[in-house]
Amino acid sequence: MLSVHELHVSYGGIKALRGVSMEVNQGEIVTIIGANGAGKSTMLNAITGFLKPAKGEVIFNGHKLGRNPAAIVKLGICHVPEGRLVFANLSVQDNLMLGAYLRKDRKKMAEDLEKVFVLFPRLKERIKQQAGTLSGGEQQMLAMGRALMTDGELVLMDEPSLGLAPLLVKTVFQIIKEIRDLGKTILLVEQNAQKALEVADRAYVLEQGRVVKEGAACDIQSDPAIRAAYLGSKSVAGGA
Amino acid sequence: MTQFLQQLINGLSIGSIYALMAVGYSLVYSIMNFSNFAHGSVIMLGAYFGFFSLTTLGMPFGIAFFIAACGAGFVAVTLERLAYKPLRDRRAPFLYFIITAMGASILIDNGVIATIGPTPKTFPPELLPSYLQSGSIQIGTLGIGRVDIAMFVITAVCLVALILFIDFTKMGKAIQATAYNMKASALMGINPNFVIILVFAIGGALAGVAGVLYGVKYQVFPQMSSITLKSFIAAVFGGLGSLPGALLGSLLLALIETFVSGYISTQLRDIFAFFILIAMLVIRPAGIMGKSAEDKA
């Protein structure tokens, strides 16, 4: 579905990605784990056209992706950005409907809205409320619901558990599985490697802009080097 | 009492023109985060479009008004495409945008002086509809200028239409989303370039309306563009980037100006206006209803 070939991205002299290749197949949950600054978010921003790769290409369902985020959304990739970025000045309803900005299929839109409310009943309760007044967890749910309203087949998620209380972290990962069950494919960037590997089918480990390890999530999870580097203290901090 | 009411009406009438200008100014600021100092030149060109459509082309006033609004909107969008888009594509710092805006303003103003000439033009009263003729409606001892009423009503119609558009249409919501966060709105499939063109077109069209009204009340002349400064003060006063703020700021600024002119001295009017600007920036940089306290240059 998505293939990334030898992607290089630099920010003013600093090489954030140095030749990263990866594949995401239909129906999978693929996770990218790595330390801060390893290039995880850069990867997602390069896929959705916010960053210009110095070299390499991204192919989605046979289309080479360019640098126009709006066109990429139209092709069927939605992105739940780091820090959620909900439209704080607009209502929950407006936020969700903006997700469907490019769509014309009103009937399917109404069905999708119902699915979002089944997934996130809290959003339905707060439909008229301004998004800025929601709690962090609710905002994360809104950001996910809004992305689902674009009806993209591939959902990119950037640190969905960041800054959430442990109980909510658990909920968020549960929801990620439920979103996959809706027929979506998920590329998940997470610092909480333990949780990410529990839900994912496959994983890539990024270090300083390179893929240092890839494979089935369960193999990565049991890899001694990975355990020492990413799962040691993290499993205590995030495993509640 | 009569004098007070008279000043109040003058203030509301001039405030409505400030509001038409400040709203366009604020809309552009809310998306692009820079002060479009070329906005005044668009207002001035709008006034000339209206004037020449009416006189040289002999159009009916309603059509001339429409041409002025469309023409000014077109100029604003052209300015965006030619002057600001290349800067955006290179991710230039916001200071470059302000300098470019000032340069464009000087270019347009002097272009008008060089081609049309510096002499002020007066809208010929015989070509104006009756509601814009001079003369006033007497209510007791109070005389309300017909122009003032028309200006207030036309402004109110334009601004209500704008608010309905922003709050109740999909495109209006897209503008609000983009103003809040351009990255997030692009992730919804909203093309930032489209939104930018839209706000320049709306702001420009309102500037054209403001230019014609100003020209009818006073005269049409190249230095008209310096009234941008007043709309800038109004927008900062009310809170840059906020439409209700721009409205409120415009009315308050105009009321303060007319009361200072009426009760203290006409010469002190602008000193008061700029004093308000400085005081506001010192005390409450976000303005009365501003969206943030960031740099307001």
For the stretch B235-271, pLDDT in tens is 888 888 888 899 999 999 999 999 998 888 888 888 8
Å between A88 CA and nearest CA of chain B? 8
Asked whether residue A223 carries a pLDDT value surpassing 90, the answer given is: no
Residue of B nearest to A44 (CA): B187
Q: Would you give the DSSP letter of residue B84? A: I
Residue A150: closest CA among chain B residues belongs to which residue? B188
At B292, the pLDDT band (50, 70, 90 cuts) reads low
| Position A33 confidence tier, pLDDT thresholds 50, 70, 90 | very high
pLDDT higher at A235 or B45: B45
CB atoms within 10 A of CB A41: 19
Q: What is the DSSP letter of B241?
A: T
Mean pLDDT of B86-92: 91
- pLDDT at A113 (0 to 100): 95
How many CA within 13 A on the CB side of residue A157?
A: 35
d(CA A15, CA A35): 16
Residue of A nearest to B190 (CA): A70
Paired residues of B293 in beta bridges? none
Closest partner residue to A150 (CB to CB) among B184, B188, B192 is B188
**pLDDT score of B90 more than 80:** yes
For residue B193, which of B34, B84, B90 has the smallest C-alpha distance? B84
- Give the whole-number percent of chain A exceeding pLDDT 90: 74
Q: Does residue B294 have a pLDDT over 50?
A: no
Q: Which of A73, A81, A90 sits opposite B183 (nearest CB)?
A: A81
Return the closest-CA partner of residue B56 out of B134, B124, B147: B124
Percent of chain B with pLDDT over 90: 62
**Among A102-106, A140-144, B108-112, B293-297, which is the least confidently predicted range?**
B293-297
Q: What Å distances lie between residue A131 and A84, A90, B169, CA to CA?
A: 11, 6, 19
Q: Region A87-106: what's the mean pLDDT?
A: 94
- Cross-chain CB nearest to A48 (options B173, B181, B187): B187
**What confidence score (pLDDT) does residue B291 get?**
59
Position A80 confidence tier, pLDDT thresholds 50, 70, 90: very high
Residue of higher predicted confidence among A230 and B69: B69
The 10s digit of each residue's pLDDT in A35-51 is 888 889 999 999 999 99
Read off the pLDDT of each residue in B10-33 and give the average, rounded to a whole number. 91
Angle formed at CA B271 by CA B229 and CA B260, multiple of 5 degrees? 105
At residue B142 the predicted structure's pLDDT band, cuts being 50, 70 and 90, is: confident
How does pLDDT run across B65-82, given as a tens digit for each residue?
999 999 999 999 999 999
Q: What is the mean pLDDT of residues B91-109?
A: 93
Q: Which of A70, A85, A94 sits opposite B189 (nearest CB)?
A: A70
ipTM of the complex: 0.88
Per domain, the residue ranges of chain B are 20-225
* A36 CB-near residues (< 8 Å, 6+ apart): A191
A205 vs A226: CA distance, rounded Å:
9
Mean pLDDT for chain B? 90
**Chain B: nearest CA to A79, how far in angstroms?**
6
Residue-wise pLDDT tens digits, A6-27:
999 998 788 899 999 999 999 9
Mutate to test the interface with B, among A87, A103, A109, A156 (most CBs of B within 10 A): A87
Please provide the average confidence, as pLDDT, over all residues in chain A: 90
Distance of CA B39 to the CA centre of its chain: 7
What distance in Å separates the CA atoms of residue B54 and residue B90, rounded to the nearest whole number?
A: 41
Name the least confident of A144-148, B248-252, B273-277: B273-277
**Interface contact flag, A87 B191, Cβ < 8 Å:** no
Residue A222 reports pLDDT greater than 80: yes
* Rounded distance between C-alpha atoms, residue B98 and residue A64, angstroms: 37
Adjacency order of strands within the sheet including A210-216:
A77-80, A154-158, A185-190, A29-34, A202-207, A210-216
In percent, the amount of chain B with pLDDT more than 70 equals 97
CB contact under 8 A, A99 and B170: no
pLDDT value for A238 = 40
| C-alpha Rg value of chain B to the nearest Å | 19
Percent of chain A with pLDDT over 70: 96
Is the model's pLDDT at A233 over the cut of 80? no
Query: What does the pLDDT read at residue B193?
Result: 93
pLDDT at position A91: 95
Nearest to A70 among B173, B177, B186 (CB): B186
- With CA atoms as reference, the chain A residue closest to B180 would be A87
Radius of gyration of chain A (CA): 17
What pLDDT, on the 0 to 100 scale, is given for residue B269? 87
Chain B residue at shortest CA distance from A82: B184
Residue of B187, B289, B291 to mutate, testing the A interface (most A Cβ within 10 Å of its Cβ): B187
Please say if the pLDDT value at position A236 is more than 70.
Answer: no
* Model pLDDT, residue B293: 42
For residue B113, what pLDDT band results from cuts at 50, 70 and 90?
very high
Kindly state the average pLDDT of the residues B200-221: 94
What's the pLDDT score for residue B249? 92
Is B297's pLDDT higher than 90? no
